[in-house]
Amino acid sequence: MFAKINCAGLSGIHGFMTEVEADAQNGIPGLFLTGALSQETSEARFRVWNAIRNCGMDIRPKKLTVNISPASLRKEGTAYDLSIAMAILCSLGELEDGSLSDLAFLGETGLDGRLKRVNGVLPLALCMRDHGIRGLVIPEGNLREALSVEDMDIYAFSELREAVRFLRAGRHQMRALGKLAGASEGAGRKHERQVLLDGQPVAVPDPDAAAPDPMEGIPDFSDIRGQAYLKRAAEIAVAGRHNILFTGPAGTGKTTLARAMTGILPGLTRKEDLEISAVYSIAGLLSEDMTLMGRRPFRAPHHGISASAFLGGGRRIMPGELSLASGGILFLDEFPLFQRNVIESLRQPLEDGSITVQRVGGSVTYPADIQLVASMNGCPCGHFPSPECHCTSAQIRAYMGRLSKPIVERIDICAEARPLGGDAFLKTDTDGVAGDRSESSAEVRLRVEEARRIQENRFRSEQRLRFNGRMGLRETERYCILDGGARAYMSDIFKSRGLSGRTYHKILRVARTIADLDHAELIREEHVMEAAELRSIESRIGAYGIGRR
């Protein structure tokens, strides 16, 4: 007997529909799997067969052939186990595949029949819903993750025998509910979503109540003493989505400020949250009690990271740190100490907002829409330019020279930290709190969100452009309009500093963001002056070399 069950596979963060076909015939008993399967997928013939037998089902020995189509696309992972089990049971007459035509199945089976949690359920469920699948059967461990997919009934089970029992006894009731829901929708009433765990109704949690506090564990701007220049640079960088590099002596607060920048990022939209959560779902970083991430990511990989872990890859092409930081901040501390091939690999993702990982088995594209925040000391020992620094000019040049000119020119803002004196920490205000209280992250975030709204209105007619920091040459010339004083000043510094065309346009883009923060229609001279100052350290970095002053 022939049977067919719905399932789905992954290519990057996007799913594709698959059909698990099973055929039972007389002959030498055996289970054969076909369809361009990875090793762990083809090993399902051992897991699934033992799971079915250990669930107490007395099935007749048959020659079973299971094909997962389309055969032209490679299938990876263990999420096909449950759909393979259902296809086999339908082909043996234990279930009616016609009654399961509007369902899809995802999950790994244990040898004892338990259903185990799998990665990637969120993007797979979104794909299924978009292809008209009405209900999804999954392991209990994936229940909360699947709840984030709207307009889809969710049926979660802890064991294979529970799923089979429910589908045998309760499927007629589910069909009746579906017909009743269809009649209600025709009458103008919304279908009430079904969420069941081992056949029993489960209350759907309020997504707002279940969402984590996006500010938890993030330093506040008001807690950072001094460094007003760096905080201003950070605000401009976030407002226009500009990549930024902090430089200066060790211990001046560069790392703390980078972490605090997460607190001034605008809130997530539903679309952004789904994309970020899909990447984390594929990587297995969504815990069982999470529905969506609910906050923008902050990733800070160690400088010893390999190119594969940074970009993505492995035997199964998994997302790397670049993709895990998409939609948020990628912080690279001790920037020059990263491997040269890791640093240079940033060139294309910073321009395109995505990363394509190519391996022998194929290529996968993951999102990499990051805001790069990097930091570095002025020398290998971290004390430059104080008298405590004993590094030679050659050592400093070698340290700075690890950053190539193309990488430096892809960073819009280069801000230098100043060493702090004791007064910044010991002075008390009228409340008796050490240091002067500066603006909080919430106050800065309000200005950032207003600047983002201005950019959203400006780029409404553009298809893919949303931020000043992502403008190309054509958009820069169209939207970065200078007044008379700004034009004259820009002409002077272009000649005196010998700016490249790329640096010239980056100053214009940063000036556009500063003007947006000031709610100015035209870019004025003071905006250009501040933008140019935020790149002044560039002349001492990378291909330009550095020496003692």
Residue 200 sits in the same domain as residue 312 = no
With 0-12 CB in 10 A as exposed, 13-18 as middle and 19+ as buried, what is 390?
exposed
**Count of domains forming the chain:** 2
Confidence at 427, pLDDT banded by 50, 70, 90: low
Distance CA 241, CA 449 (A): 12
Helix 270-282 × helix 121-130 angle, to 10°:
130
Decide if 235 is inside a domain: yes
**What CATH number does residue 395 fall under?**
3.40.50.300
Half-sphere exposure of 422 (CA within 13 A, CB side): 1
Domain finish residue from 172, 204, 236: 204
- 546 or 119, which is more confident: 119
Residue 309 sits in the same domain as residue 176 = no
Residue 134 tokens read as 């009405």
Domain finish residue from 158, 179, 204: 204
Determine if residue 229 is left, alpha or beta; phi over 0 gives left, psi from -120 to 50 gives alpha, anything else beta. alpha
Residue 190 sits in the same domain as residue 226 = no
Q: What is the CA radius of gyration of the chain?
A: 28
Does residue 364 have a pLDDT over 50? yes
Residue 472 sits in the same domain as residue 537 = yes
Residue 268 sits in the same domain as residue 173 = no
Residue 241 sits in the same domain as residue 160 = no
Residue 199 sits in the same domain as residue 225 = no
Decide if 463 is inside a domain: yes
Residue 278 sits in the same domain as residue 243 = yes
Residue 162 sits in the same domain as residue 228 = no
Residue 192 sits in the same domain as residue 246 = no
> For a pLDDT cut of 90, what percent of the chain falls above it?
56
Decide if 89 is inside a domain: yes
Decide if 47 is inside a domain: yes
Confidence at 537, pLDDT banded by 50, 70, 90: low
3-state secondary structure of 451: helix
Half-sphere exposure of 50 (CA within 13 A, CB side): 12
> For a pLDDT cut of 70, what percent of the chain falls above it?
88
Residue 160 sits in the same domain as residue 259 = no
Contact 71, 36 (CB under 8 A): yes
Global pTM exceeds 0.85:
yes
Residue 11, domain extent? 2-204
**Alpha-carbon torsion (469, 473, 476, 478), positive or negative:** negative
Decide if 526 is inside a domain: yes
**What CATH number does residue 103 fall under?**
3.30.230.10
Domain finish residue from 145, 173, 204: 204
Decide if 215 is inside a domain: no
Instruction: Single out the residue of 265, 258, 259 nearest to residue 218, CA to CA.
Output: 259
Instruction: Single out the residue of 271, 20, 45 nearest to residue 137, CA to CA.
Output: 20
> pLDDT tens digit string along 168-184?
876 555 544 444 344 33
Residue 19 sits in the same domain as residue 84 = yes
Distance CA 516, CA 509 (A): 11
Decide if 216 is inside a domain: no
Instruction: Specify the DSSP class assigned to residue 114.
Output: B
Decide if 164 is inside a domain: yes
> pLDDT tens digit string along 264-280?
999 899 999 999 999 99
